[in-house]
Amino acid sequence: MEKPHLLAVFGYPVAHSRSPLIHAAFGQETGIALSYGKREARPGHFGAEVDKFVAEGALGFNITVPFKAEAFALAQQVTERARQAKAVNTMKVTADGELHGHNTDGDGLLADMTVNLGWKLSDSKILVVGAGGAVAGVIPSLLQANPSRIDICNRTISKAEAIAAQNPRTFAVGRESLLQGYDIVLNGTSAGLAGELPDLPATIFASHSCSYDMIYGDKTTSFNQWALDCGAAQAADGLGMLVEQAALAFEYWFETRPATAPVISMLRHG
């Protein structure tokens, strides 16, 4: 029997990761034999753990919090998306042992919004809440869909300013200068993980607004519930983004793009 391709996700912590489940499903669907595990690396030990994995014959790996920037620094070559994000979430080990880095988070989000959800981003006014690593990584992909503007509002305004300075049509906006009724509001903060809501006025939503929360859970996220309570038309969580970024990683490794709808449905409904 063919030896399975060796893959894994690196993170700290990593126990919660659904990536092994997602890639096992992609492997079944495409008939590609793979073994995808979880590798916990303590901070300061990421590089050494990667070396070990490569020595075991790994084909590639994913990288999650907190190692995406470190992975970017480790890569010998990076794609344009990784360069824009200054972060790598997908690494390929080449035949001669080089590490090539890519970032699929932004294009995964874009695929979920435009293909799965059918949202129109061209000429839209987008509000992005938060200015951490995930937001920095997704802005170039959002811009590719030609929104009329992207406003970034973050608790720490300097971080929003730094991202805006690197991207066209992107503005750091304080709470008092927010527009009314954005077409799309993207919550890229981790506030919901602590059961908190970012401090924003309800007027950012109108009856046509779509809310996207990058986090996901068994029930409607607190941000999306608030958006719907404020009158937003639709709300989606980040499960679709998670599966779409994984499909793009799979394509980077195997040059074939698996179908995502059955996997999103499996994760959503068990």
CB of 106 to ligand NDP, least distance (A): 10
Q: Least separation, in Å, of the C-beta of 178 and ligand NDP?
A: 14
- Nearest residue (CB) to ligand NDP, 38 versus 155: 155
Amino acid in the structure at residue 34: L
CB-wise, 54 or 71, nearer to ligand NDP? 71
Closer to ligand NDP at the Cβ: 49 or 112? Answer: 112
Helix/strand number for the chain, H first, E second: 10, 12
Q: Is residue 68 among the annotated active site residues?
A: yes
Please identify the residue of the shown chain whose CB is closest to the bound ligand NDP: 132
Q: Scan for tokens 């997602």, then name that residue.
A: 22
Question: CA-to-CA distance for 169 and 183, rounded, in angstroms?
Answer: 16
Q: What is the rounded CA–CA span in Å between residue 86 and residue 73?
A: 9
Q: Which is nearer to ligand NDP, 128 or 232 (CB)?
A: 128
Say if CB 8 and CB 53 are below 8 A apart.
yes
Catalytic residue, candidates 3, 38, 52, 68: 68
State how far Cα 267 lies from the chain centre.
17
47/183 Cα distance (integer angstroms): 42
Shortest distance in whole angstroms from residue 126 CB to ligand NDP? 16
Best CA proximity match to 63, nearest among 10, 107, 110, 18 = 10
Measure the CA dihedral 86/145/167/89, to 10°. Answer: -10
Interface residue list for ligand NDP (CB under 6 A): 65, 105, 130-135, 154-156, 159, 188-191, 193, 196, 198, 214-215, 238, 241-242, 245
Q: Which is nearer to ligand NDP, 15 or 95 (CB)?
A: 15
First to last CA, the chain: 30
- Minimum CB–partner distance for residue 51 and ligand NDP (Å): 25
CB 33 to ligand NDP: min, Å: 26
**Catalytic positions, written as ranges:** 68
